[in-house]
Amino acid sequence: MSIISLSNDVISAQINTLGAELCSLKNTENKDFIWEGDPAYWGKHSPVLFPIVGTLKNNTYTHNNKEYILTRHGFARDMEFELVDQTANTATFSIQSNSTTLASYPFQFELQIQYTLFHSTLEIAYKVINKDNSAIPFSIGAHPAFALSGNFENYSLEFEKVEPLEYTLLENDLVSTQTETIATNSNFVPLTHKLFERDALIFKKLQSKLLTIVEKEIPRLKVHFEDFPNLGIWTKVGAPFLCIEPWFGYSDTTETNGNLFEKEGIIVLKSTDTFQTKFCIEIL
């Protein structure tokens, strides 16, 4: 495990080879926008979610008549990544399937994560390579936690578009059939911990592809997720951070049949094909 540092004239980033996890993103004033990872609230910073996002029903699925156990958010966040390329403002990390991953996920793959600084923006790009002789099913997602110093209720979220902000509720960590809509006549949502009393807000069909964190009417940070179809927003009640999570896929639905290939939101990647996506964090 080691820390890889990137910097330019405007921002700097640090990435842990364990999980290829972003653990710091600072401006020239040394302000860190990434949550410090205090385990009293939540001991992570920005884990990568692969090969599933969220939770499987009973943490299991069936493939070729065999049952496999795959725990919440998958195993990539707990694996040591290899640093395969680095420059002053770019670093690329990789993991590949091995005997341990095959025991819970019987598919051959390579996952690459590349971090690149562009002026005041950090781009995080994912590449999944199917190294199997048949199709592989997976989800992938980001889970960055942004530090919110001071009073949580000084902050609000600005959505890119004015739209019905309908989100799906979780039921025992699974996606239920219940939905609610955030009451607002604009694209601004004031942050309150009450909003998260029933866990994460899961947006399956958001039109907005850009969210801005605003502090007392001052925009602080933007998250661009043009390539991602789903989004989670989460915090722990009372915690001084907010997670804005671009996803491909989400937890099992309460009606799942346990077949990963038929899981709602899953990606099925053909043999030898490559899947690529990216999102950006822009410091304002």
Residue 16 has pLDDT above 90, yes or no: yes
What confidence tens digit (pLDDT) does each residue in 188-217 have?
Answer: 999 999 999 988 999 998 999 999 999 999
Mean pLDDT computed over 174-188 = 92
What is the Cα–Cα distance from 205 to 174, expressed in whole angstroms?
A: 18
Cα 242 from Cα 232, distance rounded (Å): 11
Residue pLDDT, tens place only, 89-120: 999 999 999 999 999 999 999 999 999 999 99
Look at the chain and report how many structural domains it folds into. Answer: 1
Looking up tokens 């992938």 gives 140
Neighbour tally for 233: CB within 10 Å? 22
pLDDT of 246 over the 90 cut: yes
Instruction: Identify which of 24, 79, 29 has the alpha carbon closest to the alpha carbon of residue 50.
Output: 79
Average pLDDT over residues 231-258: 95
Q: Tell me how far apart the alpha carbons of residues 62 and 242 are, in angstroms, rounded to a whole number.
A: 34
The CATH number given to whatever domain includes residue 218 is 2.70.98.10
Please give the average per-residue pLDDT across 77-84, as a whole number: 98
Report the pLDDT value the prediction gives residue 65, as an integer from 0 to 100.
92
Among the ranges given (44-53, 149-158, 167-176), the one the predictor scored with the smallest mean pLDDT: 167-176
To the nearest whole percent, how much of the chain has pLDDT over 70?
A: 100
pLDDT band at 31 (very low <50, low <70, confident <90, very high): very high
Are the CB atoms for 116 and 89 separated by under 8 Å? yes
**pLDDT band with cut points at 50, 70 and 90 for residue 14:** very high
The pLDDT of 41-50, averaged and rounded, is 97
Show the domain range for 219. Answer: 3-283
Residue 241 has pLDDT above 90, yes or no: yes
For residue 235, is pLDDT > 90?
Answer: yes
- Asked if 115 and 244 touch (Cβ cutoff 8 Å), the reply is no
Rounded Cα distance, 20 and 233, in Å? 21
pLDDT score for 144: 98
pLDDT, mean over the chain: 96
Q: What is the pLDDT averaged over residues 43-70?
A: 96
Strand pairing report for 155-159 and 188-190: antiparallel
Q: Is the pLDDT of residue 264 over 90?
A: yes
Task: Specify the pTM.
Answer: 0.96
- 153 within 8 A of 171, measured Cβ to Cβ: no
